[in-house]
Amino acid sequence: MILHTLLDYETLRVIWWVLLGVLLIGFAVMDGFDLGTAMLLPFVAETDLERRVVINSVGPVWEGNQVWLILGGGAVFAAWPPLYAVSFSGFYLAMFAILFALILRPVGFKYRSKREDPRWRASWDWALFVGGLVPALVTGVAVGNVLQGANFHFGPDLRIFYDGTTLFELLNPFGLLCGLLSVAMLVMHGANWLLLKTDGVVSERARTFGGLAAVAVIALFALGGLWLWLGVDGYRFVSAVVADGPSNPLAKTVERASGVWFENYGTMSWTLIAPALGFLGALASLGFSQGRKAVPALLSSALSIFGVISTVGVSMFPFILPSWTDPKSSLTVWDASSSHLTLFIMLVATVIFLPLILAYTTWVYRVLWGKVDERAIARGDGHAY
C-alpha cells in the first residue's frame, strides 16, 4: 500500500493514458502488418501458389497479434469507463463494420484452401482483402472524427446522449483523409513484412507497393497536419484544471478554437519528436525497402506508426474524446478515469503480465523466423494454409 500512496491519482491517470497509447500502438504495429498483407494479397500475388505464400507469411501469427486489440479494449473498459461507453455506443456502426471485417479473416484463412475451385479461392482472397481494408480504413476515419469532436453530450445525471445519426456522417472529408493515411501506413508495414518473409516476384512487388505507400504516408500525414491547423478546431480548458478530482466530465468549462491542437508543441517542445518520427520512419522505410533491407524497413515502418499515433495523442492531451455537441462534456485524462484504487490494481496486473506477453511473443517470432518456403507449400508439407 506504500506504492499506492506514492502514486497519486494524477500520476496514475497519466500512466494509464500512456499505457492506452502503448496498447493502441502495439495493436497497430503487431496486427498492422497482417492487415497490410491482406490488403496487398490480390496485388502482389498472381498465381494460387504465390497467394498461399502471402497467406502463410502471416498465418501462424495473426491470431496472436490480435491479443493487442483485446488488451486495448479491456484497458479502455476498465481504466476509462466513460470513454468505453461513449465510443462503443456512438461509434457502434463503425465498430460493427470493423468486427464484421475481422470475422472474415479467420474464416478466409481456414476455408480458402478447402476447395481447389479457382473462383472459390479468389472469393476468399477478396474476403481477406476486405478483412484488412475495412479495419484499417474505419479505424483511421474514427480517429479523424475524434480529432474533430464526436456528437455526444452528458445530461445532468451523467447519462450519455449520442447526437449523431448514421455511419455516413463519420465519412466526412477530414475523417476520410485520416482513413486513407491509416490504410497507407499499414500497407507500408505489410509490404515490409512481405519483403522480410518472401522471395522472388512476391517480394519485388511488395517492395514496389511499399515504396508507394511510404510516399503516400508522408504526403497524407503532411496534408493532415496542414488541414488540422487551418480547418479543424481544437479544444482547450477555460476553467481551472483539477487533475486529481473525481471523474465528472461536467465539472469544467471547455471552448473550441482554431490551432489549439498545436499548442502542446509550443509549451512542451519535446512533443515534436512524435510527428518527426512519423515522417522520418516513413522516409527510412522507403529507403530501406528500396535497398532490400527488410529488417530495418520493417522497424522503420513500425517507428512511423508509433510517430503518427503518438502525434494524435500528444496533440490532444489532456483530451481523449472531445464533444462537438457540448464541449463541456468532452472526456479528458482528468475526468474520465476509474477510481484511484482501480487504476493502481490494474497497473500492478499490467506490470506482471505485460512482460510475460512480450516475452512469449518474442519467443514465437524467434521460432518462426525465416522466409516462407514456396516449395514446401507446393509439396503440401506441414500445416500450410
Sequence spans of domains, the chain? 2-230+336-379
- Compute the distance between CA of residue 170 and CA of residue 168 in angstroms, rounded to an integer: 5
What pLDDT was estimated at residue 110? 86
> From CA 19, how far away is CA 72, in angstroms rounded?
9
CB 313 within 8 A of CB 275: no
Task: Look at residue 189 and tell me whether its pLDDT is greater than 70.
Answer: yes
Interior CA angle at 111 toward 110 and 113, to 5°? 100
Q: Above 70 in pLDDT, residue 384?
A: no
Pick from 158, 37, 159, 141: which is nearest to 150 by CA?
141
Residue 126 has phi, psi (to 5 degrees) of -70, -30
pTM here is: 0.93
- What is the average pLDDT across 96-104? 89
CA distance 86 to 76: 11
Q: How far apart are the first and last CA of the chain?
A: 51
Distance CA 61, CA 36 (A): 14
* Residue 353 buriedness (CB in 10 A; 0-12 / 13-18 / 19+): exposed
Query: Are 170 and 94 spatial neighbours (Cβ–Cβ below 8 Å)?
Result: yes
* The pLDDT value given to residue 351: 92
Decide if pLDDT at 163 tops 90: no
* pLDDT confidence of residue 94: 85
Average pLDDT over residues 194-199: 93
Residue pair 167/134 in contact by the 8 Å Cβ criterion: no
